[in-house]
Amino acid sequence: MENLINIFVRSVFIDNMIFAYFLGMCSYLAVSKTVKTSTGLGVAVVFVMLVTVPVNYLMNKYLLLPGALSWLDPSFASLDLSFLSFIMFIAVIASIVQLVEMIVEKYSPSLYNALGIFLPLIAVNCAILGGSLFMQEREYETLAEATVFGFGSGFGWFLAIVSIAAIREKLKYSDIPKPLRGLGIAFILTGLMGIAFMTFMGIKL
Amino acid sequence: MSEIKEKESWFSAKNLKLLTEPINSKNPITVLVLGICSALAVTVKMKPAFVMAISVMIVTAFSNLIISLLRNTIPNRIRIIVQLVVIAALVILVDELLKAYVYDVSKQLSVFVGLIITNCILMGRLEAFALGNKPWPSFVDGIGNGLGYGLILLVISFFRELLGSGTIWGYRVISESFYVNNGGFYENNGMMILPPMALILVGIIIWIQRSRNRKLIEE
């Protein structure tokens, strides 16, 4: 249990997808103009992360790792399919995003309309693929650890996009040098927030 | 009609423009805001940044070329999947090549080579250019965008490596005797190594670029 809490805190604050690895920056910068839309996208990202990381964990464990196929037949034990992991992970992500889109459309049309174009765009959000690749690189041992890691990374992304959107809403009233307006100041603010998040670095539970 | 249409030369003014525009006024990073995701994390040192820039350039150029060759046969509904498959296949090739020839750099780049798949520059160029243009201009466009991306990467990594560790491309440029623990006055700026400084540097590059080119200012 302690281990799981540790992974969660690490993935939300210390290894934050945006501030430490710059993943998902494109949609982060494009969508963070108002708090409302960014909350919608943030929730969708949390959900997709929560589903795709564990599914990719199972894929990795039972299909891709060296010797992973031995559950099928002992003679497959020498196979190593790990070079296929990129294509496998992206296929899983694309199909789960499609599935989520269909389910949301059927059961909650109002949420579907609110999210609009952002839902399909999640498939090419690098934070999602990054989550699965970090899961593979860090070699989490159980399914629970991978799930908690996926949820934590998604939550960290959500936190980041909602807080920058709140700041950008207030920025309309401030006097910024003209060439720095919009994109420039958004980058610098993200950097400053990143510095703030770095204060969590020493924490270990 | 098509027979009498004059054949365009390979390096016509129009094609050269495709090559040079992404370097300044249509830069994928500072103007179009594409591909920042995997760009900044690899800029602590110049060498990995250079390898990353070359890899992205290869993938943009060849995915543009392949999609442009296939553009009339891909059904519109499944084009995103087709694009992802082409990109993923190219990225796997690049990743295996890096592992074979520059293993240490490939370790430093870690997951970021894989993340070229979801690099927005690729999707953006395929959707906006390769689906509607002939193979050769698409190939040139891919090279141009790779160059624009690589240039920003090299500028950022130059400053981060120089100020953060006093070296350029791994060679020491600030003499050891200047450092505090050798009796000098200088100390490396550890801030530059940390991730947030990359974002702030991009912000500053955008500031400089926009004050030189007023057309890019947002209202």
**Distance between CA A161 and CA A164 in Å, rounded?**
5
Q: Rounded to 10 degrees, what is the CA torsion of A17, A21, A26, A29?
A: 70
Mean pLDDT, residues B60-89 taken together: 88
Residues paired with B167 in a beta bridge: B172
Encode pLDDT of B132-186 as tens digits. Answer: 888 999 999 999 999 999 999 999 999 999 988 888 888 888 888 888 888 778 8
**Distance between CA A147 and CA A11 in Å, rounded?**
12
Residues 134-163 of A with CB under 8 A from B: 134, 137
What b/e string do you get for B124-163 counting C-beta neighbours within 10 Å, with b at 16 or more?
bbbeebbbebebebbbbbbbbbbbbbbbbbeebbebbbbb
Considering chain B, what percentage of its residues have pLDDT values greater than 90?
23
Least reliable range by pLDDT among A26-40, A41-55, B40-54, B128-142 = A26-40
Please report the sign of the dihedral spanned by the C-alpha atoms of residue A66, residue A72, residue A75, residue A81: negative
**Distance between CA A132 and CA A113 in Å, rounded?**
28
In order of B94, B95, B211, the CA distances from A184 in angstroms are 32, 32, 11
Contact B196 A187 (CB under 8 A): no
B15 burial level (CB within 10 Å; 0-12, 13-18, 19+):
middle
Mean pLDDT, residues A128-149 taken together: 90
Q: Does A133 touch chain B (CB under 8 A)?
A: yes
Q: Which residues contact A166 (CB under 8 A, 6 or more apart)?
A: A35
Nearest residue of chain B to residue A94 (CA atoms): B81
Contact A182 B218 (CB under 8 A): yes
In order of A88, A128, B63, the CA distances from A63 in angstroms are 10, 20, 28
Question: Which of A32-46, A90-104, A141-155, B16-30 is predicted most confidently?
Answer: A141-155
Return the H-helix or E-strand segment holding B171. strand B171-172
Quote the tokens at residue B52.
């990353």
Q: Which residues of B touch A117 (CB under 8 A)?
A: none
Residues 77-116 of B with CB under 8 A from A: 80-81, 84-85, 88-89, 91-92, 95-96, 110-111, 114-115
Residues 8-27 of A with CB under 8 A from B: 19-26
Farthest-apart Cα atoms in chain A, separation: 69
Query: Are A132 and A52 in contact, with CB atoms under 8 Å apart?
Result: yes
pLDDT for the residue numbered A118: 67
What is the residue-averaged pLDDT of chain B? 84
Contact A22 B40 (CB under 8 A): yes
Encode pLDDT of A86-119 as tens digits. Answer: 888 888 888 888 887 888 788 878 777 766 666 7
The DSSP annotation for A86-103 comes to HHHHHHHHHHHHHHHHHH
pLDDT for the residue numbered B1: 41
Rounded to the nearest angstrom, the gap between the alpha carbon of residue B210 and the centroid of all alpha carbons in its chain is 20
Of A25, A90, A137, the CB nearest to B37: A25
Of A24, A26, A94, the CB nearest to B33: A26
Mutate to test the interface with A, among B84, B192, B199 (most CBs of A within 10 A): B199
Contact B210 A195 (CB under 8 A): no
Of B123, B200, B209, the CB nearest to A191: B200
Contact B117 A22 (CB under 8 A): no
Distance between A196 CA and the closest CA of chain B, angstroms:
9
Q: How confident is the model at residue B2 (pLDDT cuts 50, 70, 90)?
A: very low
Q: Does B200 touch chain A (CB under 8 A)?
A: yes
Task: Quote ipTM for the complex.
Answer: 0.80
Rounded to the nearest angstrom, the gap between the alpha carbon of residue A62 and the centroid of all alpha carbons in its chain is 23
Residues 116-135 of B with CB under 8 A from A: 117-120, 123
**Distance between CA A58 and CA A61 in Å, rounded?**
5
Least reliable range by pLDDT among A142-151, A193-202, B1-10, B133-142 = B1-10
B132 compared with B77, residue with greater pLDDT: B132
pLDDT for the residue numbered A97: 85
Of B36, B84, B110, the CB nearest to A94: B84
Contact A128 B118 (CB under 8 A): yes
pLDDT at B118 over 70: yes
Contact B115 A130 (CB under 8 A): yes
